[in-house]
Amino acid sequence: MRNKFNALKRLKLNNDGITLVEIMAVLAIIAIMVGVGMTSWAVVKNADVSKAGRNIMTAYDKLKTYTMSKNGEWRMEIYKNDKGMYYAGVYCRDAVTGLDVADGDVVELGKYIDIYFKDENESSDIYIDESTPLKIYLKPSTGGVNKIKLGDIVKYDSAGEYESSYGNIEITYNNLTNKNVKIYYVTGKVVD
């Protein structure tokens, strides 16, 4: 019982405040937690970039299947809406009405990413945004690329003569993490 009173007495006498060692311990714990949190955030964003690349390739595969097996002028479109979200969708122009009809499967690519397109022989990437969507049309007979448009600008047309053999879609997060999807014009093959 006497030890209990001595402990309480010492506790009451030791109310001088926080020691330097206690402050350093708390700061060390906070630094470790921030470091782990930042690493986790980078891993999540890297996964978003990879997922966007996979979704683009999936939409492209669907475009190739539809173009070669169904009637109509099919295209894949990658665009950014006014809220900053990127989407990839496969569309067909209705021969009767002339209106675009989605195939019902427009996928989200991500919000905190940036997507660029660059032709093999170009020196700079072109940013895909609200006013500059990327549209890819394929040939029904071969599955090769028929036309690529960025906004109203034709980047590739199979009827013309081009020295480029492929175009590159680059997905980035903060210009640190990137994934490339390369589209070969003649064969229509995509690789990442």
Task: Indicate the length of the chain as a whole number.
Answer: 192
- Rounded Cα distance between 102 and 133, Å, is 15
pLDDT at 113 over 60: yes
What would the pLDDT profile of 166-184 be if each residue is shown by its tens digit? Answer: 889 999 887 777 888 999 9
124 vs 170, higher pLDDT: 170
Spell out the domain ranges in the chain: 2-191
Alpha helices by DSSP H, the chain: 2-13, 20-69
Q: How confident is the model at residue 141 (pLDDT cuts 50, 70, 90)?
A: confident
Closest CA to 171 of 4, 86, 49: 49
Which region among 36-40, 111-115, 123-127 has the lowest average model confidence (pLDDT)?
A: 36-40
Scored b (16 or more CB within 10 A) or e, 108-137 reads: ebbeebbbbbbbeeeeebbebbeebbbbbb
In the prediction, which pLDDT does 182 show?
A: 92
In the prediction, which pLDDT does 152 show?
A: 80
pTM over 0.75: no
164 contacts 155 by C-beta, under 8 angstroms: no
Q: In 10 A of CB 145, how many CB atoms?
A: 23
